[in-house]
A and B are shown apart, each in its own frame.
Chain A
Amino acid sequence: MSLDSIISIGFYLSSLGFLIATVITLMARSKVGASGLGSVLSYLFIGTGTFFVITIFQGLGGDFFGISDESMDIWWHIMFYLAMFSYYFGFKALTKLGSDEADLMGSKAKSWGIFSIIVLVVVFLIPGMADSVVEMYSTSILAGLGLHHFLAFALAGTVGSYLMSAKKNLGQIGQAIANPMIIAVLALSIQHFWELLFESWKIVVVTSEVGEGIEKIFLITAATCVTVAALRLKSLAKAS
């Protein structure tokens, strides 16, 4: 089997994995119903759905949007931040469940969902028009240093800290979500670290195809873990 075929299979697996994770999260949300935990699952659904959209964006490629691979990299990072902010809001609400703050965050889940859809539509529409602006960053020293990856690390670290808190304080629910989601966030962080090494810093020298192929391993791992988290939450209603 050629390297190209393996990478294509990796792409389809990661995309399918996030699609399955999104659907199962939505099913878990429906099962739990309107509640604080339901709001947490709404944010998890938005974030996971955004990761699925990222795989579609990457699948279409720079040729489809008429932009360079470097610009593609920046655009999907913007969507990555959106997904991680969704997880941040969701897991923050999880650790505050039962408090007024969680109720307030829960009431904003719908607005966040609408905002996310708007951002995703814009990202699919404007890359060609805004390429010159994006290239100003992608050809800058900051991009060379990997600023966009460090932003991803910061978000992943924040999300991870809420997950650790949930694991420690929130009984079976916290453990059901936290254990697999910590691995998912770790896998996504390693993906960015890998990109930092081979794309930004160019410390690891591999072909673009190999680099992208290795990224898919982390994406498949993340998608699997999100699916497990959603399945565990869904099963809590039965196991109770």
Chain B
Amino acid sequence: MQAGGFPPVDGCYTKRDRYSLFIRMEETAQYTALITEIIKKQSVILGPEIAILKARSVSGLQVDNDGKVTSVGDNPKETLQNLVDQYVELSGQIVKNALGSIFAKYPNIEINK
């Protein structure tokens, strides 16, 4: 077991590669948490059926029946942007009212609202 619980890798990875991979995993985890929160918030506003169905229409995004994100695809930033665009198209101003407090918790993540 390597430091920080990092998964074992073969000898080809340099320290820099491992650091990049770690950063990428951290980033994916953050996007997953953020998108899950957005879907939950939209479920409270629009109802779970509409919120989850809308999320599932976003390419690369996989969501279970409880609204929890299981995959954000290869480009989580694009997935997040597409999801927000979908919700804005559906409910306009409501999204802007509702998502501000959620994005405040993730200062490293930015989208075009």
Question: Do the two chains belong together in a single complex?
Answer: yes
Interface residues of chain A, those whose CB is within 8 Å of chain B, are: 31-38, 97-99, 169-174, 236-238, 240
What's the nearest-Cβ distance from chain A to residue B76, in Å? 21
**CB <8 Å contact, B93 and A32:** no
Listed residue (B50, B89, B94) with the most chain A CB atoms within 10 angstroms of its CB: B94
**With known contacts A98-B94, A170-B94, A37–B46 Cβ distance under 8 A:** yes
Q: Which residues of B contact A36 (CB under 8 A)?
A: 44-46
Q: Does B23 contact A (CB under 8 A)?
A: no
Query: In this complex, what residue of B is CB-closest to A35?
Result: B47
Listed residue (B44, B45, B57) with the most chain A CB atoms within 10 angstroms of its CB: B45
**With known contacts A171-B88, A171-B89, A35–B46 Cβ distance under 8 A:** yes
What's the nearest-Cβ distance from chain A to residue B48, in Å? 6
Contact of A33 among B49, B89, B92 (CB under 8 A): B49
Top 4 nearest A-B pairs (CB, nearest first) are A171-B92, A98-B98, A240-B53, A32-B47
CA distance A237 to B48 in the complex (A): 9
Listed residue (A31, A99, A172, A237) with the most chain B CB atoms within 10 angstroms of its CB: A237
**Residue interface mask B72-109, A partner, CB < 8 A = 1:** 00000000000000001111111101100000000000
What's the nearest-Cβ distance from chain A to residue B46, in Å? 5
**With known contacts A35-B43, A240-B54, A171–B91 Cβ distance under 8 A:** yes
Contact of B91 among A31, A173, A237 (CB under 8 A): A173
Contact of A169 among B45, B47, B89, B92 (CB under 8 A): B92
**CB <8 Å contact, A97 and B94:** yes
CA distance A169 to B89 in the complex (A): 10
CA distance A171 to B90 in the complex (A): 5
**CB <8 Å contact, B49 and A172:** no
**CB <8 Å contact, A170 and B92:** yes
What's the nearest-Cβ distance from chain B to residue A42, in Å? 12
Query: In this complex, what residue of A is CB-closest to B53?
Result: A240
Listed residue (A98, A170, A172, A236) with the most chain B CB atoms within 10 angstroms of its CB: A98
